[in-house]
Amino acid sequence: MDSMKGLKRTCYCGEVTEAGRTVTVGGFASRIRNKGGIIFIDLRDRTGLLQLVFDENTDTAVFEKAKSVRSEYVLMAQGNVRERESKNPDMKTGSVEVFVTDLRVLSKAQTTPFEIVDDLNTNEELRLKYRYLDLRRTPLMKNILTRHEIARITREYFYENGFIEIETPMMMKSTPEGARDYLVPSRVHPGSFYALPQSPQIYKQLLMISGYDRYIQLARCFRDEDLRADRQPEFTQIDLEMSFVEPEDIQGCVEGFIAKLFKEVLGKDIPLPLPRLTFADAMARYGSDKPDTRFGMEITNISCAVKDIDFVVFSEALSNGGSVRAINVKGGAAVYTRKEIDKLIEHAKGIGAKGLAYIRYADEPNCSFKKFLADGQLEAVMQATDCEKGDLVLICADKNKTVLSVLGALRLICGKRLGAIPEDKFNFLWITEMPFFEQDEETGEWVAAHHPFTMPMEECLDSLDSDPASVRAKAWDLVLNGTELSSGSMRITDPALQQRMFEALGMTDEEIQAKFGFLVDAYRYAAPPHGGMGIGLDRLAMIICGADSLRDVTAFPKVQNASELMSECPSPVDTASLEILGIKIKE
């Protein structure tokens, strides 16, 4: 193996774009083409590819060394930059090449388990097992570098706007935050545990009490919950808190950040202010509290249009306080055959619907409940749903919660099927006036929809005990293209109101003291009005990069069962280590 003594890298591969200078570059051998009397090696580093060339004018020893190079060898090369005879417009450095005068092979690679190329068909499990090799590929490297840019711009923006970056503990008291905690046993305090933070929520509120009126942190958070494409057990949150503000101040600050980020990373202008929808309106129009507004197909309440139809499905739903609603899949009749409509019906049943009625208007309107209609009633339903030739109308009748969630899901399925969702569009949306409580369907009890420090809207304070369903929170979500990026709220600063909220959630004085005693005590020493947000950096990166999964923007991600295939964690530890912690594994 060669030494790099005497050579010092002068630039990155992707920076070499002009002829007429001598450079020294280092990287991985990406592609080797030996034409006999001439050898080309594409050298790769994190900035791109650069073509190295060796020919009859190359020193014999250097040429022989070039012949020995194989894929993924680590090289350093020094040489003169010259114009390429055959230019490659697909490469940033495609108009130049380096005629190598000194070549060093710093490290040799054995044959890799898969080829390090952009378009790869290899099984994802294999790529995750050899993640350090997968990360060499340009698409993943581009994503990781974009994520770095997001982090850099985040810090710059919030620093410029008077925020202070403060780190909060990674080991903290276990407090209820909505998901299971990851617990860390204490050696010094046998039988006691730290928790990894689900968010820095309590600490950032304490920082407001301490007088640090604008806090920011790129915080690592941990939640022991089932994984999916947009969820990992550990994630990064752009965490912020502000004092002496109203919700509009926090939202305006975040809007400025979003505009700066998308302009600098993607060159996209995001119109401000961002649109707003109340939670109730979002559910009524889109059947989701995180609606994708890049396409229409909104939900229509057709209860009035069907109330006189002698169809038990409709009449039962209405008599039980529910509703009959529909979506019009414009142009859907040409795409959805009867067989495909049956699949939609089965899907609807799988997510809670008792069934699904429809009108498919191809040559003639074909209505699934036609035999129950009197004269003029089909026309009334078609008018209420704006049904024209070529359309498919899907109708659901049930309690409102079921109807909205089912049609919201079908709306997304049909939108994707018809290609109605533009991939290059970024639709941000604030969802405001979130419900303060949500009802447990099994027990019927009302539980907090947010953390217990969320401020209710003033006009709802009198309804806390008498009508919990009507209580709205000073809380909001930031949604992008159907993905929730962030949640935020104003916090309760009045100890008496906080006590009332704990009691409304069924907590005893002993529970309050055990779980939140230190925070309750802190508020007795006065606190400025404050609120904040936590923006999911991972999800933001996933959307900006056009990735399908958080795994594509995370350097070393976990898989579905929360394990990491490369290091094979989690893994057992020896009995001696467990004994020190006072832990015994139960078989």
Q: What is the pLDDT of residue 177?
A: 61
Confidence of residue 194 (pLDDT cuts 50, 70, 90): very high
- Please check the confidence at residue 398 and state whether its pLDDT lies above 90: yes
E strands within 276-356?
276-278, 299-301, 323-329
The amino acid at residue 220 is: R
3-class secondary-structure state, position 192: coil
CA angle, 168 as apex, 516 and 526 as ends, to 5°? 50
The SS3 assignment for 540 reads helix
Residue with tokens 């005497």: 6
Which residues lie below 8 Å from residue 393, measured CB to CB, with a gap of 6+? Answer: 326, 327, 328, 329, 358, 359, 360, 361, 381, 382, 385, 387
Q: Provide, rounded to the nearest whole percent, the portion of the chain with pLDDT above 70.
A: 99
Question: Given pLDDT bands bounded at 50, 70 and 90, which one contains residue 294?
Answer: very high
Burial of 444 (0-12, 13-18, 19+ CB in 10 A): exposed
- For residue 98, pLDDT over 70 is answered with yes
Q: What is the pLDDT of residues 331-379, one digit of tens each?
A: 999 999 999 999 999 999 999 999 999 999 999 999 999 999 999 999 9
- Residue 495: closest CA among 514, 473, 519, 475: 519
For residue 130, CA distances in Å to 125, 135, 230, 354, 560 come to 9, 9, 22, 46, 17
Using only C-alpha atoms, the chain has a radius of gyration, in whole angstroms, of 30
Mean per-residue pLDDT for 39-49? Answer: 97
**Rounded distance between C-alpha atoms, residue 79 and residue 111, angstroms:** 28
Four-point Cα dihedral 249, 253, 255, 259, nearest 10 = 150
pLDDT at residue 381, rounded to an integer: 96
- Read off the DSSP letter of residue 380: H
Confidence band (pLDDT; 50, 70, 90) for 42?
A: very high
What is the structure's pLDDT at 232?
A: 92
Tell me the pLDDT tens digit for each residue of 219-264: 999 999 887 777 899 999 999 999 999 999 999 999 999 999 999 9
pLDDT: is 445 or 582 the higher one?
582
User: How many helices (H) and strands (E) in the chain?
Assistant: 16, 22
Average pLDDT, the chain: 93
Determine the pLDDT at residue 226: 82
Provide the pairing of β-strand 164-165 with 214-222: parallel
Q: Are 196 and 170 in contact (CB under 8 A)?
A: yes
Higher per-residue pLDDT: 220 or 463 = 220
How sure is the predictor about 512, in pLDDT bands with cuts at 50, 70 and 90? confident
Strand extents, DSSP E, 71-134: 74-83, 96-107
Residue 178 confidence (pLDDT): 66
Predicted pLDDT of residue 508: 85
Report residue 446's pLDDT band, with 50, 70 and 90 as the boundaries.
Answer: confident
Structure-block tokens of residue 217: 């942190």
Token code pair at residue 213: 């009126």
Quick check: helix, strand or coil at residue 107?
Answer: strand
- Alpha-carbon torsion 556, 560, 561, 565, what sign? negative
Q: What is the pLDDT of residues 401-438, one digit of tens each?
A: 999 999 999 999 999 999 999 988 999 999 999 998 88
Residues 23/103, Cβ–Cβ less than 8 Å = no
